[in-house]
Protein backbone atom coordinates (compact mmCIF):
# COMPACT_ATOMS: atom_id res chain seq x y z
CA UNK A 1 0.00 0.00 0.00
CA UNK A 2 1.28 3.47 -0.89
CA UNK A 3 2.43 5.55 2.06
CA UNK A 4 0.32 8.65 2.84
CA UNK A 5 2.09 11.84 1.78
CA UNK A 6 3.22 14.45 4.29
CA UNK A 7 3.63 17.85 2.58
CA UNK A 8 6.10 20.24 4.23
CA UNK A 9 5.79 23.78 2.85
CA UNK A 10 8.22 26.60 3.55
CA UNK A 11 8.64 30.29 2.99
CA UNK A 12 12.30 31.05 2.20
CA UNK A 13 13.63 34.46 3.30
CA UNK A 14 13.77 34.70 7.13
CA UNK A 15 12.35 31.18 7.35
CA UNK A 16 15.16 29.00 5.99
CA UNK A 17 17.64 31.83 5.37
CA UNK A 18 18.34 34.71 7.80
CA UNK A 19 18.16 37.51 5.20
CA UNK A 20 16.53 38.47 1.92
CA UNK A 21 18.21 36.37 -0.77
CA UNK A 22 19.17 39.44 -2.84
CA UNK A 23 21.27 40.76 0.05
CA UNK A 24 23.92 38.04 -0.13
CA UNK A 25 25.45 38.80 -3.53
CA UNK A 26 23.12 40.67 -5.88
CA UNK A 27 22.78 43.96 -3.99
CA UNK A 28 26.48 44.12 -2.98
CA UNK A 29 27.41 43.72 -6.66
CA UNK A 30 25.40 46.88 -7.36
CA UNK A 31 27.56 48.78 -4.88
CA UNK A 32 24.51 49.46 -2.71
CA UNK A 33 23.60 48.85 0.90
CA UNK A 34 20.51 46.67 1.38
CA UNK A 35 18.70 49.56 3.04
CA UNK A 36 19.23 51.74 -0.04
CA UNK A 37 17.98 49.03 -2.40
CA UNK A 38 14.79 48.41 -0.41
CA UNK A 39 14.16 52.16 -0.11
CA UNK A 40 14.35 52.40 -3.92
CA UNK A 41 12.03 49.40 -4.14
CA UNK A 42 9.41 51.15 -2.01
CA UNK A 43 9.70 54.31 -4.13
CA UNK A 44 9.26 52.28 -7.31
CA UNK A 45 6.20 50.45 -6.01
CA UNK A 46 4.55 53.68 -4.87
CA UNK A 47 5.43 55.64 -8.01
CA UNK A 48 3.87 53.07 -10.33
CA UNK A 49 1.18 51.62 -8.06
CA UNK A 50 2.89 48.25 -8.52
CA UNK A 51 2.62 44.92 -6.83
CA UNK A 52 5.60 44.66 -4.47
CA UNK A 53 7.00 41.56 -6.16
CA UNK A 54 6.84 43.08 -9.64
CA UNK A 55 8.45 46.23 -8.26
CA UNK A 56 11.53 44.45 -6.89
CA UNK A 57 11.86 42.39 -10.09
CA UNK A 58 11.79 45.55 -12.20
CA UNK A 59 14.28 47.27 -9.92
CA UNK A 60 16.70 44.32 -10.13
CA UNK A 61 16.81 44.69 -13.91
CA UNK A 62 16.94 48.49 -13.95
CA UNK A 63 19.77 48.82 -11.43
CA UNK A 64 21.80 46.06 -13.09
CA UNK A 65 22.20 47.87 -16.39
CA UNK A 66 25.88 48.64 -16.92
CA UNK A 67 26.87 47.13 -13.57
CA UNK A 68 26.35 43.38 -13.79
CA UNK A 69 25.08 40.97 -16.40
CA UNK A 70 21.74 39.45 -15.44
CA UNK A 71 20.88 36.14 -17.06
CA UNK A 72 19.21 32.96 -15.89
CA UNK A 73 22.65 31.47 -15.22
CA UNK A 74 24.01 34.46 -13.29
CA UNK A 75 20.89 34.61 -11.12
CA UNK A 76 21.13 30.89 -10.38
CA UNK A 77 24.81 31.33 -9.52
CA UNK A 78 23.79 33.86 -6.85
CA UNK A 79 22.21 31.01 -4.94
CA UNK A 80 25.61 29.67 -3.98
CA UNK A 81 26.12 32.65 -1.66
CA UNK A 82 22.86 32.24 0.26
CA UNK A 83 23.33 31.23 3.91
CA UNK A 84 20.92 29.20 6.04
CA UNK A 85 19.90 28.90 9.65
CA UNK A 86 21.75 26.29 11.68
CA UNK A 87 20.69 22.77 10.77
CA UNK A 88 18.79 23.58 7.57
CA UNK A 89 21.10 21.65 5.24
CA UNK A 90 20.49 18.37 7.11
CA UNK A 91 16.90 19.11 8.09
CA UNK A 92 15.18 17.59 5.05
CA UNK A 93 16.88 14.21 5.34
CA UNK A 94 16.03 14.06 9.04
CA UNK A 95 12.38 14.87 8.39
CA UNK A 96 12.24 12.34 5.55
CA UNK A 97 13.70 9.64 7.79
CA UNK A 98 11.37 10.37 10.71
CA UNK A 99 8.30 10.50 8.45
CA UNK A 100 9.31 7.19 6.85
CA UNK A 101 9.63 5.55 10.27
CA UNK A 102 6.09 6.82 11.01
CA UNK A 103 4.73 5.29 7.80
CA UNK A 104 4.60 8.53 5.79
CA UNK A 105 6.33 9.80 2.65
CA UNK A 106 7.55 13.38 3.14
CA UNK A 107 7.64 15.92 0.33
CA UNK A 108 9.06 19.45 0.63
CA UNK A 109 7.89 22.58 -1.19
CA UNK A 110 9.02 26.19 -1.32
CA UNK A 111 6.30 28.87 -1.54
CA UNK A 112 8.20 32.15 -1.64
CA UNK A 113 8.00 35.72 -2.84
CA UNK A 114 11.72 35.52 -3.54
CA UNK A 115 13.27 34.66 -6.90
CA UNK A 116 13.04 31.04 -8.04
CA UNK A 117 16.24 31.21 -10.06
CA UNK A 118 18.28 32.15 -6.98
CA UNK A 119 16.65 29.43 -4.89
CA UNK A 120 17.43 26.88 -7.61
CA UNK A 121 21.12 27.68 -7.19
CA UNK A 122 21.22 27.13 -3.44
CA UNK A 123 22.72 24.12 -1.69
CA UNK A 124 19.27 22.86 -0.63
CA UNK A 125 17.43 23.17 -3.97
CA UNK A 126 17.47 19.42 -4.56
CA UNK A 127 15.42 18.79 -1.43
CA UNK A 128 12.24 20.25 -2.92
CA UNK A 129 9.62 18.58 -5.08
CA UNK A 130 8.59 22.03 -6.37
CA UNK A 131 9.89 25.57 -5.91
CA UNK A 132 7.05 28.07 -6.26
CA UNK A 133 8.48 31.58 -6.39
CA UNK A 134 8.76 34.68 -8.55
CA UNK A 135 10.51 34.14 -11.88
CA UNK A 136 11.34 35.79 -15.21
CA UNK A 137 10.75 34.94 -18.86
CA UNK A 138 14.07 34.61 -20.75
CA UNK A 139 15.07 35.08 -24.37
CA UNK A 140 17.26 32.63 -26.31
CA UNK A 141 20.37 34.14 -24.72
CA UNK A 142 18.97 33.58 -21.23
CA UNK A 143 18.35 37.30 -20.63
CA UNK A 144 15.20 38.16 -18.64
CA UNK A 145 12.71 40.40 -20.42
CA UNK A 146 9.37 39.98 -18.60
CA UNK A 147 8.04 38.51 -15.35
CA UNK A 148 6.81 34.94 -15.72
CA UNK A 149 5.37 34.76 -12.21
CA UNK A 150 4.99 37.04 -9.22
CA UNK A 151 4.16 35.33 -5.92
CA UNK A 152 2.80 37.70 -3.31
CA UNK A 153 1.33 36.96 0.11
CA UNK A 154 -2.18 36.30 -1.21
CA UNK A 155 -1.29 34.45 -4.42
CA UNK A 156 0.80 32.06 -2.30
CA UNK A 157 -2.39 30.32 -1.24
CA UNK A 158 -3.06 28.87 -4.71
CA UNK A 159 -0.06 26.60 -4.29
CA UNK A 160 -1.57 24.98 -1.23
CA UNK A 161 -4.45 23.82 -3.42
CA UNK A 162 -2.03 22.67 -6.14
CA UNK A 163 -0.28 20.47 -3.60
CA UNK A 164 -3.61 19.37 -2.12
CA UNK A 165 -5.02 18.31 -5.51
CA UNK A 166 -1.75 17.05 -7.00
CA UNK A 167 -1.83 19.64 -9.81
CA UNK A 168 1.73 20.84 -9.37
CA UNK A 169 2.23 22.52 -12.75
CA UNK A 170 1.91 26.27 -12.06
CA UNK A 171 0.56 26.80 -15.59
CA UNK A 172 -2.36 24.37 -15.09
CA UNK A 173 -5.33 26.44 -13.97
CA UNK A 174 -8.46 24.83 -15.36
CA UNK A 175 -8.15 21.61 -13.40
CA UNK A 176 -7.11 23.51 -10.29
CA UNK A 177 -10.45 25.30 -10.18
CA UNK A 178 -12.60 22.26 -10.90
CA UNK A 179 -14.33 20.42 -8.10
CA UNK A 180 -12.51 17.40 -6.71
CA UNK A 181 -13.94 15.22 -3.91
CA UNK A 182 -11.86 15.35 -0.75
CA UNK A 183 -11.08 11.63 -0.79
CA UNK A 184 -9.55 11.94 -4.27
CA UNK A 185 -7.10 14.71 -3.39
CA UNK A 186 -3.44 13.70 -3.41
CA UNK A 187 -2.46 15.35 -0.10
CA UNK A 188 -5.23 16.06 2.44
CA UNK A 189 -4.80 19.36 4.24
CA UNK A 190 -4.57 17.41 7.49
CA UNK A 191 -1.22 16.08 6.19
CA UNK A 192 0.25 19.54 5.52
CA UNK A 193 2.68 21.58 7.61
CA UNK A 194 3.41 25.20 6.67
CA UNK A 195 6.48 26.91 8.14
CA UNK A 196 6.89 30.68 7.80
CA UNK A 197 8.18 33.68 9.66
CA UNK A 198 5.85 36.64 9.49
CA UNK A 199 2.67 38.47 8.50
CA UNK A 200 3.12 37.80 4.77
CA UNK A 201 2.75 34.09 5.54
CA UNK A 202 -0.50 34.53 7.45
CA UNK A 203 -2.89 33.70 4.55
CA UNK A 204 -1.11 30.37 3.97
CA UNK A 205 -0.82 29.64 7.67
CA UNK A 206 -4.48 30.37 8.29
CA UNK A 207 -5.70 28.47 5.21
CA UNK A 208 -3.66 25.43 6.19
CA UNK A 209 -5.00 25.45 9.77
CA UNK A 210 -8.68 26.04 9.00
CA UNK A 211 -8.59 23.06 6.64
CA UNK A 212 -7.17 20.75 9.31
CA UNK A 213 -3.46 21.20 8.66
CA UNK A 214 -0.68 22.60 10.82
CA UNK A 215 1.31 25.86 10.81
CA UNK A 216 4.51 26.84 12.61
CA UNK A 217 6.01 30.33 12.96
CA UNK A 218 9.79 30.68 13.25
CA UNK A 219 11.64 33.73 14.49
CA UNK A 220 15.17 35.07 14.98
CA UNK A 221 15.72 37.60 17.78
CA UNK A 222 12.33 39.28 17.87
CA UNK A 223 9.50 36.88 18.64
CA UNK A 224 6.65 39.40 18.81
CA UNK A 225 5.18 38.60 15.38
CA UNK A 226 5.34 34.87 16.11
CA UNK A 227 3.69 35.27 19.50
CA UNK A 228 0.97 37.41 17.98
CA UNK A 229 0.25 34.73 15.37
CA UNK A 230 -0.04 32.13 18.15
CA UNK A 231 -2.46 34.32 20.13
CA UNK A 232 -4.51 35.11 17.01
CA UNK A 233 -4.87 31.43 16.16
CA UNK A 234 -2.88 31.72 12.91
CA UNK A 235 -0.29 29.08 13.90
CA UNK A 236 -0.09 26.06 16.18
CA UNK A 237 3.43 26.70 17.43
CA UNK A 238 6.21 29.29 17.44
CA UNK A 239 9.87 28.36 17.75
CA UNK A 240 13.32 29.83 17.10
CA UNK A 241 14.57 29.33 13.52
CA UNK A 242 16.94 26.62 14.69
CA UNK A 243 16.76 23.46 12.55
CA UNK A 244 19.43 21.48 14.39
CA UNK A 245 18.74 17.99 15.78
CA UNK A 246 16.86 18.17 19.06
CA UNK A 247 15.83 21.81 18.64
CA UNK A 248 12.43 23.06 19.75
CA UNK A 249 11.41 23.36 16.10
CA UNK A 250 12.39 19.78 15.32
CA UNK A 251 10.53 18.49 18.37
CA UNK A 252 7.38 20.40 17.40
CA UNK A 253 7.46 19.21 13.79
CA UNK A 254 8.13 15.60 14.79
CA UNK A 255 5.18 15.74 17.20
CA UNK A 256 2.98 16.99 14.35
CA UNK A 257 4.24 14.13 12.19
CA UNK A 258 3.28 11.72 14.98
CA UNK A 259 -0.23 13.19 14.94
CA UNK A 260 -0.48 13.02 11.13
CA UNK A 261 0.63 9.39 11.14
CA UNK A 262 -1.87 8.45 13.88
CA UNK A 263 -4.70 10.20 12.06
CA UNK A 264 -3.86 8.41 8.82
CA UNK A 265 -4.06 5.07 10.61
CA UNK A 266 -7.50 5.83 12.01
CA UNK A 267 -8.73 7.20 8.67
CA UNK A 268 -7.61 4.06 6.85
CA UNK A 269 -9.18 1.82 9.49
CA UNK A 270 -12.42 3.78 9.16
CA UNK A 271 -12.39 3.25 5.38
CA UNK A 272 -11.85 -0.49 5.79
CA UNK A 273 -14.58 -0.71 8.44
CA UNK A 274 -17.04 1.19 6.26
CA UNK A 275 -16.32 -1.00 3.22
CA UNK A 276 -16.81 -4.14 5.33
CA UNK A 277 -20.11 -2.81 6.64
CA UNK A 278 -21.30 -2.00 3.13
CA UNK A 279 -20.43 -5.50 1.93
CA UNK A 280 -22.29 -7.07 4.85
CA UNK A 281 -25.30 -4.87 4.26
CA UNK A 282 -25.46 -5.84 0.60
CA UNK A 283 -25.21 -9.54 1.45
CA UNK A 284 -28.04 -9.23 3.98
CA UNK A 285 -30.41 -7.60 1.53
Average pLDDT, the chain: 93
Q: In this prediction, what percent of the chain has a pLDDT beyond 90?
A: 83
pLDDT score, position 83: 98
Q: What is the pLDDT of residue 243?
A: 98
What does the alpha-carbon distance between residue 153 and residue 178 come to, in Å, rounded to a whole number?
23
pLDDT tens by residue, 265-284? 888 777 777 778 777 777 66
Express each pLDDT in 29-63 by its tens digit. 999 999 999 999 999 999 999 999 999 999 999 99
Predicted pLDDT at 282: 74
Domains delineated in the chain: 5-15+82-275 (3.40.50.1000)
Q: What is the pLDDT of residues 107-124, one digit of tens each?
A: 999 999 999 999 999 999
pLDDT band at 143 (very low <50, low <70, confident <90, very high): very high
Q: 4 with 103: CB under 8 angstroms?
A: yes
pLDDT at site 87: 98
Q: For 155-175, what is the mean pLDDT?
A: 90
Mean pLDDT over residues 239-260, rounded?
98
Give the residue among 7, 58, 23 at the shortest CA–CA distance from 185. 7
Q: Given this model, what pLDDT does residue 116 score?
A: 97
In this predicted structure, the answer to whether residue 132 has a pLDDT above a threshold of 90 is yes
Distance (Å, rounded) from C-alpha 123 to C-alpha 83?
9
Amino acid sequence: MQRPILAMMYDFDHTLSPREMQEYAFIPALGMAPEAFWARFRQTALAHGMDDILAYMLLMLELSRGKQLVTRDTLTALGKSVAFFDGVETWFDRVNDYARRCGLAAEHYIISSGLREIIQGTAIAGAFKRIYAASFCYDDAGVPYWPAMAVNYTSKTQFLFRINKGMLDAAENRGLNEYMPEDQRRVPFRNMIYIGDGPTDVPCMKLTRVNGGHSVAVYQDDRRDADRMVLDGRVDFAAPADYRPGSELERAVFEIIDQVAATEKTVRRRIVCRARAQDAFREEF
